[in-house]
Structure 1
Amino acid sequence: MAEILPLRAWRYNDKLNIEELTSPLFDVVSDKQREVLYHHPYSSIHLSVPRGQQPAINAANMLQEWKEQGLLLQDQLPGIYVYYQYFRLPNSDKDYVRKGFICNIKAYDWHENILLRHENTIPSAVNDRIELLEHTALNSSPTHGLYTDTSFILEPYMDESIRTPIYETEDYQGVRDVLAVIHDHEVIKLFLDTLADKQVLLADGHHRYEGSLAYRRKMMAENPDHTGYEAYNYHLMYLTNSEHDDLRILPTHRLLKSLPISDEDFLERLSEYFVVTPKEDPYELNEVIVGKLWAFGLYLNGEAYKLRLKPELHKTISWNFPAEVKELDLTVLHYFVFEKVLGVLRQEQRGYAALSYERNFTACIRKVDKREAYAALITNEVSMEQVKRVCNSGAVMPQKSTFFYPKVICGFLFSSIKEDEFTTATAACV
């Protein structure tokens, strides 16, 4: 099953202030926040989401300069990097901690059924990731994977390691991110052995993983002496145990910049499939749908509505999906609202220019009020059990279905897949 390896990470020189250098993933910050990050000349965002006419080449040049200047240094010993995130959720007093570790993992093809996906991707975003990887040979931020271990074998070793952290910062979400490292080869071997009989569910980072997968396929085709152990075979991943209670999935809402039909026609067509109920307060739309199957909030040009699918119509979904996918709220949303009402076919929805995504509920309402969006469709969260069922069915959810909170921070470490920089310590762990 899943082959993982320790790594010799590249990390910022300890003389630098790590708090100033970390950056969130590009799809969870505002334009204003992003500009602040770009303003710092050594921010990790220059490697993860480079800008300019030739962004991938710019990132590769900058990476080489940082290495030569000693801004980035490679750790002497390979290790498993323990990563904990301490956080709270809005309107809750509970303190959460998501426990996991960062390592290299083989970039398995989907048909191997070792690494399972649950979401569709957006092709243009995958192409950007491939180009960046080709030029930099660097995994600049870990994707997020889930394994299942009901015995919690690795947690005691992670708890012990996190007592002596390398970094401890507070990120843009108010999350406390803590990184430590395990060098003991016997303990590392336990990590490798524990994952050896596991499947891994890709929780977040589908585009970056597909970039690594495409790069591996290309290099395999070009290398007649391919063995499977070359550096290009591996991908940087943060792994967490799916059995933890502190694993949280938040909803991702849909925004429409415009409608191809009038408001009146839109509501009339919606009423063919949904019970449409006007609501006074748009800021209660997330509350009136919570826990209700196939229910959504709609904020349209200043007016709020609750939508509830007429249950007898669910069986009319004609998409060739297994039951596990047809049962999902987002499948219902994309089938009835986007295809049946708006006339946007399934194969066109991933590239639909009028559609964007927003994880913050209040931001959805605010954007409609400020005319930055014309309509917001508010959704419920997907459960961990639903994610597992879809993955095991071999199918995928609509794009942007899950938001595993909090996002992994970028900048704590980087993983090179240049052959002369890729050291695994496999021999020491067997």
Structure 2
Amino acid sequence: MADILPIRAWRYNDAKAADLEDLSAPLFDVVSKAQREQLYKNPYNSIHLSVPLGPNPAANALKKLNEWKAEEVIKLDTVPGIYVYYQYFKLHGENKEYVRKGFICNIRIYDWDDKENINSPDAILRHENTIPDAVNDRIELLEATEIQASPTHGLYSDKEYQLEKYMDEAIQHPIAETEDYQGVKDVLGVIHDYDIIKKFVEVLKTRAVILADGHHRYEGALSYYKKRKAENPNHDGSEPYNFHMMYLTNIESDDLRILPTHRLISGLQSFDKEEILEKAAEWFIIKPVDNAFDIGEVILGKPWAFGLVFKNQTVKIRLKPEMIDKIEWKFPDIVKKLDLTVLHYFFIEKVLGIPGKEQRKSPNITFERNFTSCINSVTTGQAQCALITQELSVEDVKKVCYSGYTLPQKSTYFYPKTVSGFLFGSLKENEFYTTPRISF
């Protein structure tokens, strides 16, 4: 089960860099080109550590990090703490204000492939595959800097809500408050009380954690851990490289939201709309839709239903019920019957001809959360077609994780995203621990 520690964080020094709103940045896998260009103009913005510039970005990040330490742009906590992180937000078309409650800590890394460690399969569960190139980028950055610029996002289950009262109290005395690029209000508090921190540690020791967001960063940290462990003949499990910075939220909360991630198809040779529709008719019921912008409502709530948007035509495709048992991928039923499995098997493999084993690395498949951007990409010719999906439920994520299998990459978009720059987690021995060490 999960093993957590409070975090001794590097944080921006108010005396040197006071406006945290100008220093935070979107996560590396969602920050747009336009956002990057703007954020790079600020020499102290956290993007210089999370998505560094130059022909040797990892080396540039290390140089920048050392400069910030020397100039006291960032300062190291004297004692570790549990950082409470609340995000206040609204969803499009709704007036209700949600608040996602969670906390940032260090969590022990678990190796999914380590079958000798009986805790390994149960401590941290993944729900989707990753894209290899993005993982390699994270490994290089972590090896060079030994710093974590943003937490991954994990989910734990606590139906008794044992920790919320401590978080609610801490957030009444915020140490940072900003409005981020999503229009979300981010509020940060901290808990230093030993007995309360110990309560957090004890609660998580009885829980498994589902990795919700940050699979690439987690796998980068896992690879770094394996390398450092292999190099250390005196490895005892207490070294900083055994841990990873994570934002943990209670999966039982009503304020946990997952938005759909759509698929864009481009660069396929001999792409022919009529041929694609003819092939799709073998597997799907196809119905025309007059307005592409209505497709989200047309498919809403219907199992195995998707929007297929071409430049001059939009249709709803819905799998014929009798076809579901024809999936040959060796998955349990809970995974086979998910919308995204149906989409990737019957349409992307069977209709478009991209085999499942090649889909992770395929340059022909890109991902886009914004519905309007999908439509625009098709109408402007940047994409050959768009596949509009529906959101995945939290219950489905749970079931997939507990089955031991994973979803296709980019299956979920937990909203809102955390931001980079509130905390930096070091993996250096003299920065990770205080002297003497505090035991939890």
Shorter-chain TM-score: which interval? over 0.9
The answer for the alignment partner of 2:372 in structure 1 is 362
Alignment partner of 1:142 is 2:151: yes
After superposition, where does 1:201-280 map in structure 2 within 5 Å? 201-260=210-269, 261-280=271-290
Q: CA separation in 1, counterparts of 2:58 and 2:335? A: 36
Deviation for aligned residue 1:13: 1.0
Deviations 1:43-102 (CA, angstroms, capped at 9, x unpaired): 101100112111111101110111011111111111000000000000111110000000
1:14 is matched with 14
Residue of structure 2 aligned with 1:378, choices 388, 394, 401: 388
Q: Look up the match of 1:195.
A: 204
How many Å separate the matches in 2 of 1:269 and 1:419? 58
Question: Residues of 2 paired with 1:286 and 1:42: CA distance?
Answer: 40
Range 302-311 or range 231-240, more displaced: 302-311
Q: Relative to structure 1, is the Cα distance of residues 426 and 238 closer, same or farther in structure 2, using a 3 angstrom cutoff?
A: farther
- Secondary structure in structure 1 of the residue aligned to 2:252: coil
Q: CA deviation at 1:345?
A: 0.8
For 2:410 and 2:144, locate their aligned partners in 1 and report how far apart those are by CA, in whole Å.
27
TM-score (normalised: structure 2):
0.96
Deviation at 1:302, TM superposition (A): 2.6
**Which blocks of at least 5 consecutive residues in structure 1 are unaligned?**
none
Spell out, residue by residue over 1:152-173, the C-alpha distance to the aligned partner (whole angstroms, 9 max, x if none).
Answer: 0000000000011111000011
Deviation of 1:29 (Å): 3.4
SS across alignment from 1:110: coil
| Residue-by-residue CA offset, 1:8-34 (whole Å, 9 max, x unaligned) | 100111121111000011332332122
2:355 equivalent to 1:353: no
**Other-structure match for 1:29:** 31
Is the 8 Å Cα contact of residues 78 and 434 (structure 2) preserved in structure 1? no
Instruction: Tell me what 2:109 maps to.
Output: 107
Please tell me whether the aligned partners of residues 78 and 425 of structure 1 are also in contact (alpha carbons under 8 angstroms): no
- Displacement of 1:354 after TM fit? 1.5
Instruction: From 338, 346, 353, give the equivalent of 1:343.
Output: 353
- Aligned to 1:50, the other structure's residue is in SS state coil
3-state SS, counterpart of residue 198 of structure 1: coil
Cα offset for 1:371? 2.1
> TM-score of the superposition, structure 1-length normalised?
0.98
Asked if structure 2 preserves the Cα contact closer than 8 Å seen for 1:188 and 1:429, the reply is: no
Q: Which residues of structure 2 form unaligned runs of 5+?
A: 114-119
Deviations 1:173-198 (A, max 9, x none): 10000001000011000010110111
Separation in structure 2 between the aligned mates of residue 425 and residue 185 of structure 1, nearest angstrom:
16
Q: Residues 8 and 77 of structure 1 are in contact (CA less than 8 Å); yes or no, is this contact kept in structure 2?
A: yes
SS of aligned partner of 1:108? coil
Amino acid of the residue matched to residue 88 of structure 1?
K
Partner amino acid, structure 2, of 1:272: E
Provide the residue aligned with 1:60 in structure 2: 62
Q: Offset of 1:424 from its aligned partner?
A: 6.4
Instruction: Indicate conservation of the 8 Å contact 2:79/2:434, yes or no.
Output: no
Partner in structure 2 of residue 5 of structure 1: 5
Q: Report the Cα distance in structure 1 between the residues aligned to 2:36 and 2:296, rounded to whole angstroms.
A: 27
Choose which of 375, 387, 408 in structure 2 pairs with 1:398.
408
* CA distance in 2 between partners of 1:398 and 1:421 (Å): 37
Check the 8 A contact 1:185/1:428 in 2, yes or no. Answer: no
| Counterpart contact for 1:104–1:236, Cα < 8 Å | yes
Q: Does 1:421 align with 2:431?
A: yes
| Partner SS state of residue 40, structure 2 | helix
Question: Which amino acid is the alignment partner of residue 11 of structure 1?
Answer: R
Q: CA deviation at 1:425?
A: 8.6
Q: How does 1:292-311 map to 2 (within 5 A)?
A: 292-311=302-321
Task: Mark the CA change 1:99 to 1:425 in structure 2 (over 3 Å): closer, same or farther.
Answer: farther
In the alignment, structure 1 residue 152 sits paired with structure 2 residue 161: yes
324, 340, 361: which one pairs with 1:314?
A: 324
The secondary structure found in structure 1 opposite 2:87 is strand
Give the total of aligned pairs: 430
The residue type paired with residue 151 of structure 1 is: E
RMSD over aligned Cα atoms: 1.2
Change (3 A) 1:426 1:100: farther
Bigger mean CA deviation after superposition, 300-309 or 173-182: 300-309
The one-letter code sitting in structure 1 at the alignment partner of 2:392 is V
Residue in structure 1 matched with residue 117 of structure 2 by the alignment: none
Q: Partners in 2 of 1:223 and 1:429 — Cα distance?
A: 23
Matches within 5 A, 1:165-204: 165-204=174-213
- Are the aligned partners of 2:4 and 2:105 in contact in 1 as well (CA < 8 Å)? yes
Deviation of the 1:373 alpha carbon? 1.8
Q: Give per-residue Cα distances to partners, 1:263-314, cap 9 Å, x unaligned.
A: 1111111111111111101001111111100000011123111010011011
Moved over 2 A (4+): 26-30, 258-261, 424-430
Deviation at 1:429, TM superposition (A): 5.0
* Paired AA for residue 232 in structure 1: Y
